[in-house]
Structure 1
Amino acid sequence: MSAPPALDLAQLLDAAPGADPYPAYARLRAEAPVHRVALPDGSLIWLVLREADVRAGLTDPRLSLNRRHSGAGYKGFSLPAALDANLLNIDPADHLRLRHLVAQGFTPRHVEDLRQRIQVTADRLADRLAAEAAPDLVGDFATPLPLTVIGDLLGVATADRGDFSGWVTAMITPEHPGQIAEAVDSIHRFLLRLVATRRAALQDDLLSALIAARDEDDRLSEDELVSLAFLILMAGVENAQHVISGGLLALLNHPGQFAELRADHGLLPDAVEEILRFTVPGQMAIRRFPTEQIDIGGTAIPTGDTVMLCLASAHRDPNRYPEPDRFDIHRTDNAHLALGHGVHYCLGAPLARLQIQTAISTLMRRFPHLALADPHEEPRWRSSWRSRSLAQLRVTVTGPPDGQLPG
């Protein structure tokens, strides 16, 4: 039986008002749980949309992350081998070995030790916000907070952090096709210099520990070492900054819930989980390849084809979340997939949650009158089929003359 004709995913998403992909996902999800889709580069994939299927797919051992299981040779975007040998792209045996090595940097004790450093950074950035008339919460707060934290964790020089963040943004949401290759090349050369510099003078940071594992115990290949540094920097910075900014926009758009949160910080942990569900920046989990023909949602998917599990669609599935398009910090059943599931659950999840909580609590404490600079202005987004994040979020941090809280 021949495969169904492919839909043009970019055209579907671009047609959504305001670059909002969720109406398009809702239409597709209502039509069928799985669709044959063409990506902008012409690659054909199977797009899995329903939460139950996405959750099951994340733990299905028949869905391999290794490109060698791509029957016709994977034609979509891929990192070079020197950046691809990380925890996201390998199957259980090597994954567990690398995960054990990296886990030392993300133990509960280590994350707790970072709490004060994160708070100091958040307070310093808040000081800068207070000095501006209409600061940008993306560029002035949400981006530099995780960039500083993860930069310190890996020993990245302060002067180099902005360049790395810009390259990652260009790789994920490029302005033109050639920008992806340029950004990947810049990232690779940067990481090679970083590893060489740290190897010449080991310090008390996670990258030094990984280099020691590579050089002394031979538990890492050189590609694995560089790839792990790339993953920690990219995932630790890119995802956290977008969840922080997206979460703040959701709260500012729901002033009643924001006021409740200000009055009771005990609501913050549940609010963070709802923010992670509601604002997930990574629209898709990383591509997977069936090692045998499998059935997903009644659709037979051949061995070696490319499967994409759509996290954004799963998080808005009404069969899993009542009124899924409603932001609700009181949602009790808010278990989400933003930080992964199963063996690939994010090692840095405790650190990500701590950064998000610290960011929101700091802004609530420092700026009780925090509001959108122009409530009628549409936010600026960076969007692609892979990712959706805020490019800018202008706010005011001082209250009205009468001292009344907005909203």
Structure 2
Amino acid sequence: MPNLLPGSPETLDVAKAQARRLTSALQSTLPLKHGQALELIAKIHGQESWGHLRSAIDEQDAPAQETPIAPIYLSTPEDGEIVFSRMMAMEVLDLCKLRMGWYGLQAHEFLSVLSKLDGGVDLFSAERPELRFFPEVTLGDLRQAERAFLAEKGRGDGNDTWMADALHQMFKAPSLVPSVPGAMDANMRAILKPFQRYDRYPIAGLNGDLASHCIHGICTAPSVRDAVNCIPGSIDLTGADVSQQQALGRVLNVPCPAVGFKNPAAGLKAMLGACLANLHDGEIRQKRPRRTTVFVSLTDLMLIGGAEVMLAQARSMGLCLVVWANRMDLDSQGLEPILNQINSLLEQSQDTGEIVASSPSLDETLGGTVKVPKLGERLSLRDRAKNALAQREAERRKR
């Protein structure tokens, strides 16, 4: 297409006006028709003909074809806020299901959004996006991942980040485990009632081997450290000590991130799943872990989905989980499935201050253990005989 030279008329009306002035100026010496004047105007402006000049002017006046422009997302101060850290995709998804009701399609799409986040680490399996571990994720990271997901699906205008914003608000809540008014007394009764008719045995009298006598337990002692100290070799996941999580990884022979899991109960669930997968994989040589007592807090346990399934898996792997009831003002419906997997109670004796255990299975498995009499009571002949056998067994083991 012809191009206009500098000084050319900007519109067709200007070019035609120039032609009329030229016709008027040359009327006395060289009469021109209007068409001839238009051709001369085209020559003056470097075009071969009026048609070329007209095309050049029309091309210049035509609006430029719009090309799609990638949206520019201006970062906001809140984009740099950390939404969650040291968590697995599966754990974040569990929270969205428990706290926001994201099931079915919403849960599937949110997992797809998480799979687009950079910086994730495949701890156990690169083929399962729900097992990716994220050391740190900001709101900007989540929004960018959601936009990429929507663009891939051809949905939205590229600015809709409601999932990222909803997750941000959820984690800003004061507590992810809300309290239930009036639930404290009812929950305490539900915990204590099944064990009222059983004797209390000092844990020290069990030779520190609680896992051999109990399936899982719940501890109501004000300080969990008192119970942990009574069981040598136990693992305490109730605090922020990452070395305890790494110790669990060594027991289960599975990897544990160097920074540890923010929720140790979620880490326990992930590592148990990896250990079970290795046991069922014929190509991986995996030994069953040794019997170990593991302490975990109730609030951490209620933040993961399928806690009752995890307790059953732990039992099959030889782990004795002791759930520390660090809060009692919780939803009883969430507490009930956990209590159904528990057969032992650990509490602090009001008389002596020591940690005692009660369980329906303790009386059946007390052979070889020492029973301590209650205050003001005498041991029966049967219990004294058991204690004598326990002392002989202890001396035999020392030899």
Task: Name the TM-score, length of structure 2 as normaliser.
Answer: 0.26
Query: Which structure has more helix as a fraction of its residues?
Result: 1
Q: Max radius of gyration: which structure?
A: 2
